[in-house]
Structure 1
Amino acid sequence: MVRFGIIGTNTITEKFLQAARQHPDFEFTAVYSRTEERAEEFAEKHGAAHTFTSVQELAKSDVLDAVYIASPNSFHAEQAIVCMEHKKHVLCEKPMASNQKEVASMINTARTEGVLLMEAVKSTLLPGFRSLHDNLHKIGQVRRFVGNFCKYSSRYDAYKEGTVLNAFNPKFSNGSLMDLGVYGIYPMVVLFGEPKTVHANAVMLESGVDGEGSLIAEYEGMEAVIMHSKIQHSYAPSEIQGEKGSIIIPDISEPEGIEIYYKDGTNESLTPEDVYDPMFYEVQEFISLIKNQQSQSLVNSHENSLVAAKVMEEVRRKIGLVFPGDL
């Protein structure tokens, strides 16, 4: 069994636990929250035996082997480094950190301490994405990647009424790019590597973060177009356009129902049957890496996380979005 502690007691953590419990080697043993009341409430609801109100004490504890971090983005680096310095493996929610400097520090700590660090980008570990990757050659020379993820945030209603929650607060390294744009950027990096140049635009909100935006990344012989938003919804799919056909991805955040449409009018389904919750596969990858004593994932690798952070930092430079962690 791999004993997990959790930092963050929010909706994403609830979904993580639901998926993780489908893995036979997952055990939830400890939870951190800023208040003892919330920690105990969460532990009782989900069956954890230990609670902590100090990340340092959680990291030092011998009741866990690994930590899943789902706190606000601005806390990821500091919390992950503390845990890794105490020999805990870290599965960190996307985006990995506020900027590439923090991501590099996290990677260096993981290597120094000999522990596993992996960014919890679920989409690139799903069976549908793996099938897409394996069949990409069928559409010939790729000329354009379109990653579209625009999802109206329920927190935007509160924002419009004058309440700025974490999702729209630059203090926590949030905004549309960080929360949703990463769903297009990370698979772009996994499939095509680091772009040569990046151009970007955004609609900025008075709170100081981007409400929505787009970017064009230039590659040799192709381009990638990423669209993201937290202030309007899109029903358009994502797409990879090649000279022999196009791959249609209905939901870039959970790639399934993927099809190739060839130039001759035929089509082919690429999606294998999913048996587990979408977040299960990142847990499966993470636990497998621990058991095989591997230092990083081949898919959600350190290099891919660093390049994704670099791209997002360049986008923020172009749109004028600065986080406290950048200073």
Structure 2
Amino acid sequence: LEAITNQYLTNYKKIKEAIKTIGAIKIIECNYSQYSSRYDAFKQGDILPAFNPKMGGGALMDINIYNIHFVTGIFGEPQKVSYLANVENGIDTSGILSLDYGDKKVVCIGAKDSTAPIRTIIQGDKGAIIIDGPTSTIDRFTIIDNQNKSEIVDFKVHTHRMYEEFTEFERIIRESDVETMTNHLDHSEMVMSIVDKGLDSAGISLG
């Protein structure tokens, strides 16, 4: 089991239900941009794990991974993947991952070299879902229809973002729920396949 918080959050499950109310999905934008406390050291030549290619560092493998899990946990595997990255010293300090689903387009923005409002927007032809804050926590979300009528939704079980994840891990182990474990493993393998394709398209090697 991969310890990726958003897959186990009740608010995430509620988003999957709420998507049905906003019509055909057209555009998804996830922006998780947060200036890293280690970036200044990186620019001075002190390569810490967060920016070390040999240790899986970089924006796509770190901060943007939550966006990928968020999107694919709802929409599955995309048809095409490409990554436009800002590369310094062989590692992506920020970048835009494009996921093409044919009938819907996704951009996942991850940045460790700059800061912006952290927000995710799912746009349908009947409305939109907005998440203010990172896709790793999903503290709450807002549904807005085309008449600008809005509803704030919050079904979180606990204030700590890892609570629901650990509770589910305990249940899976206690009940020997191999089916659920296998489904989560398949999801994680799909995400890492997308990461590999993105890194390849940007010419980044983490070897």
The answer to whether the aligner puts 1:243 opposite 2:157 as a matched pair is: no
Counterpart pick for 1:255 among 138, 141, 144: 138
Displacement of 1:273 after TM fit? 4.1
- Runs of 4+, deviation exceeding 3 Å: 296-300
| Superposed CA offset, 1:249-293 (max 9, x none) | 112221122000100121112221442411111101111111111
Aligned residue pairs, count: 206
The answer to whether the aligner puts 1:222 opposite 2:104 as a matched pair is: yes
Q: Which residue of 2 aligns with 1:109?
A: none
The answer to whether the aligner puts 1:188 opposite 2:71 as a matched pair is: yes
| Superposed CA offset, 1:57-100 (max 9, x none) | xxxxxxxxxxxxxxxxxxxxxxxxxxxxxxxxxxxxxxxxxxxx
Question: Could you say if the C-alpha distance between residues 202 and 228 of structure 1 is closer, same or farther in structure 2, counting changes exceeding 3 Å?
Answer: same
Q: Which residue of 2 aligns with 1:132?
A: 15
Displacement of 1:296 after TM fit? 5.1
**DSSP 3-state at the match of 1:154:** coil
Counterpart pick for 1:283 among 166, 186, 191: 166
Q: What is the CA–CA distance in structure 2 between the aligned matches of 1:243 and 1:229, rounded to whole Å?
A: 29
Q: What is the CA–CA distance in structure 1 between the aligned matches of 2:108 and 2:204, rounded to whole Å?
A: 17
Contact 1:296 1:302 in 2 (8 A): no
- Unmatched segments (≥5 aa) in structure 2: none
**DSSP 3-state at the match of 2:117:** coil
Question: Could you say if the C-alpha distance between residues 131 and 299 of structure 1 is closer, same or farther in structure 2, counting changes exceeding 3 Å?
Answer: farther
Q: What is the CA–CA distance in structure 2 between the aligned matches of 1:191 and 1:323, rounded to whole Å?
A: 28
**DSSP 3-state at the match of 2:84:** strand
Displacement of 1:300 after TM fit? 6.7
Contact 1:247 1:260 in 2 (8 A): yes
**DSSP 3-state at the match of 1:224:** strand
Larger RCO: Structure 1 or Structure 2 (Cα < 8 Å, ≥ 6 residues apart)?
A: 2
TM-score with structure 2 setting the length: 0.94
Counterpart AA for 1:133: K
The answer to whether the aligner puts 1:234 opposite 2:116 as a matched pair is: yes
Q: What is the CA–CA distance in structure 1 between the aligned matches of 2:180 and 2:36, rounded to whole Å?
A: 31
Larger gyration radius, structure 1 or structure 2: 1
Q: Percent identity?
A: 29
Contact 1:149 1:253 in 2 (8 A): no
Q: Which residue of 2 aligns with 1:197?
A: 80
Q: Which residue of 1 aligns with 2:178?
A: 295
What is the 5 A alignment of 1:1-327? 118-206=1-89, 208-251=90-133, 252-295=135-178, 297=180, 301-324=184-207
C-alpha RMSD over aligned residues: 1.6
| Superposed CA offset, 1:91-133 (max 9, x none) | xxxxxxxxxxxxxxxxxxxxxxxxxxx1111022112111111
Counterpart AA for 1:126: L
Displacement of 1:140 after TM fit? 0.9
